[in-house]
Amino acid sequence: MKKIIAFTGSNNPNSINEKLVQSIIRKYPNQNIEFIDLKRFDVPIYSQDIEQNGIPKPIKKLFQLFTEADAFIIASPEHNGLPSAFLKNTIDWLSRINQKFIDGKPVLLLSTSPGPTGGKTHLQILEKLVLQWGGLFVEQYSLGSFDQNFDKSGLVITNQQENIKLKKAMQALIIGQPLTKKQNVEVVQDYFNSFQNGNMEQVINSFHSDCYIVSVKEEERPKEQLHGIYRTKDGAKQFLNNITSLFNTKDFTLKHISSAGDNLVMANGTFSHEIKATGKLFNSTWVQLCIIEDEKIKEYRFYEDSAAFIAASTL
């Protein structure tokens, strides 16, 4: 059976990165994850002087353990935007045996910290270094605000969104390759497709749990009013309810959709809705702006001809 070696870059006896790793070991009892406590390897600070007398035995032992592994989980505490000196020292020694000491194996990078970023910044640096060590970087995951999102006695992440993100990252490690992520444009395209196929569950699922929706006017609205602000997935449901209870859609055409920058997707087109209450047609061009986060629509803005809507709604 494949063996995953997990270690942290922390020499803190109460390491929160170690707690994160232990929570994963508990959650994946069948994945043969072995924790290696680097603190138990009594390794001096690297010096050429020491190296001249031979690589320290603990490092040779560690290197041997690495060669027996099929994949790695590295949980790295962030120290001033960088990996800890403790981790760096271990790596410096390992690289003196073989610079590519990870040898083509998949690596999942983790970090956590009491701060909101969870040490995410330095994982970008580590991600590049994994390649230098000969490893295959598959995914990274950072748990921010550790004290608020983790139950130390139960050793579990208490925030469900975070659990979902970590599960995805673990999937990448288990299959041994990066998960193919949906492009931002695809997220919006899928939203339109689900709408057109009448699959409302998928439409709702396109939205981020913490989404912000603006239908024409960026202002609070009475529950049944179409135009205004909607928040969270419940708001998204209300938004769709309002659309479906107001309109029989005769035509909805997507003319153009494109990515505009890091996480913005712009789309435009035309529609023709019959207003159920009046039987009149509400024809309009429309523009939609979406901000995508975690392959979901986080912010959604839809603009249409509101004067035409009022005219078609009036008997």
Ligand X SMILES: Cc1cc2nc3c(=O)[nH]c(=O)nc-3n(C[C@H](O)[C@H](O)[C@H](O)COP(=O)(O)O)c2cc1C
Looking at 85-167, which runs of residues are DSSP E strands? 106-112, 136-143, 150-151, 156-157
| Near ligand X by CB under 6 A: residue from 4, 5, 7, 10 | 10
CA 62 to chain centre: 31
Rounded to the nearest whole angstrom, what is the least distance from the CB of residue 157 to ligand X in the complex?
15
- Comparing CB distances to ligand X, the nearer of 82 and 264 is 82
Q: Which residue is nearest to ligand X (CB)?
A: 113
**DSSP assigned state of 53:** T
Question: Which of 7, 56, 77, 300 is close enough to bind ligand X by CB under 6 A?
Answer: 77
Least separation in angstroms between residue 131's CB and ligand X is: 23
- 91 exposure class (CB count in 10 Å sphere: 0-12, 13-18, 19+): buried
Structural contact between residues 92 and 104, judged by C-beta atoms closer than 8 angstroms: no
- The region of 89-97, 115-123, 219-227, 273-281 touching ligand X under the rule CB under 6 A is 115-123
Closest approach of ligand X to the CB of residue 83, in Å:
10
In sequence order, what are the residues at sequence separation of 6 or more whose Cβ sits closer than 8 angstroms to the Cβ of residue 215? 226, 227, 228, 229, 230, 239, 302
81 binds ligand X (CB under 6 A): yes
Tell me the two tokens of residue 295. 């392959």
Q: What angle do CA 191, 242, 200 make, to 5 degrees?
A: 35
Nearer to ligand X, 10 or 242 (CB): 10
304 binds ligand X (CB under 6 A): no
Q: Which stretch binds ligand X (CB under 6 A): 11-19, 99-107, 200-208, 279-287?
A: 11-19
Report the alpha-carbon angle 278-280-282, nearest 5.
Answer: 120
- Shortest distance, position 37 Cβ to ligand X, whole Å: 12
119 binds ligand X (CB under 6 A): yes
Q: Are 257 and 265 in contact (CB under 8 A)?
A: yes
Q: Which stretch binds ligand X (CB under 6 A): 8-16, 156-164, 203-211, 277-285?
A: 8-16
Phi first, then psi: give them for residue 8, nearest 5 degrees: -115, 165
Sheet hosting strand 136-143, strand order edge to edge: 33-35, 4-8, 71-75, 106-112, 136-143
- Please pick, from the candidates 4, 6, 7, 17, the single residue that binds ligand X as defined by CB under 6 A: 17
Tell me which residues in 26-55 interact with ligand X (CB under 6 A).
none
Query: How many residues interact with ligand X (rule CB under 6 A)?
Result: 16
Residue 78 touching ligand X (CB under 6 A): yes
In the complex with ligand X, the residue whose CB is nearer, 12 or 64, is: 12
- Asked if 284 touches ligand X (CB under 6 A), the answer is no
Residues that bind ligand X (CB under 6 A): 8, 10, 12, 15-17, 77-81, 113-115, 117, 119
